[in-house]
Structures are given as structure tokens and as C-alpha cells.
Structure 1
């Protein structure tokens, strides 16, 4: 017998992107021309998962004072997350630099 899936509480994940891509002048590329977070050659860190958006935003403001995070204060992102929701359902693809092959 199938049971109906009940909606689960929504939580909020606070992320921070550390950018590795650099301009010709050596400065990190943080934002694209449209103002969005640059999504090429970055490392993402999860700072925490919170019950509401306000808690995640407050933690992000506090983290902007910490080493590493304060170097990229505009690179925080908050994503909603549902419990018991399947993610990465289609697998993933790794793009390797030229000359490097997967074993």
C-alpha cells in the first residue's frame, strides 16, 4: 500500500563561495556581469542549516567578519531545502582539464 508523502518543513542552507578564477590583474572574479555569483572555479562551503531565512541571514552577517569569509563578503547564498527530498537524481558529470583523463 502506498502512503501519501507529507510535505516536510523547509530549512535554509547558508553557503559561501570561495572563488579561484582570477582576472588578468590577479583579482578574484566574484560576480558575473549580471550581478550573479560567478559559478566557475569556485569552492562552496556550507556554514549551516537553519529553521528560517532570518537565522541564516544573521549567521551570514556574523560570518562576514571572519577570516576567509570577510575576503569575499558578497559571495554568500541561502538556499531553501526540504527534508526527505531526493537531490542529485540524475547523477553528475565531471569535466576534466585538457590532458587529464578519468581512470
Structure 2
């Protein structure tokens, strides 16, 4: 199965992550990022974007997590 690409935006001081969208290709995610960079808030924090690749039908946290 083909991967999905998730466009995220976060601010280091809050640790909150916003999911901007899910895309079928990295190119489409990059196009969405360019559109989002023009929007209020995102325009002031352009370094907060990341694009992550995920495989569908796969566990992505197989070891759990530790609360700090």
C-alpha cells in the first residue's frame, strides 16, 4: 500500500501539533504547506511545518510511551 503524507504545524513553546492535512504524495503536501504559509498565524511561524510519511495499516507506536 502507498504511504500517506501528513502536513503538521507545531510551536515549540506549546508542544501542540496541528494536523493541516493528509496527502497522497509528498508533492501535494508541499503544495499545501505553501498555501498554509500564507494564512494568518502560520505566516508568522513558517518554521513550524513538518511533513511526515506514514504507512497505512501499520502500528506507529509499537513500544508505547513514557510520561516525563
Tell whether the structures are fold-level matches, with TM greater than 0.5: yes
Q: Aligned to 1:19, what secondary structure does the other structure show?
A: coil
TM-score (norm 1): 0.61
Which runs of at least 4 in structure 1 moved beyond 2 Å after TM superposition?
A: none
Aligned residue-pair number: 68
RMSD of equivalent CA atoms: 1.2
Can you give the 5+ residue segments of structure 1 that lack an aligned partner in the other structure? Answer: 1-7, 21-40, 96-103
1:94 maps to 67
2-side partners of 1:12 and 1:92: how far apart?
23
Kindly provide the CA deviation profile for residues 59-95 of structure 1, in whole angstroms up to 9, marking residues without a partner as x: 0011011122112112211111111011111111121
User: Which protein, 1 or 2, shows the higher relative CO under an 8 Å CA cutoff with sep ≥ 6?
Assistant: 2
Q: Which has the higher strand share?
A: 2
Q: Which has the higher helix share?
A: 2
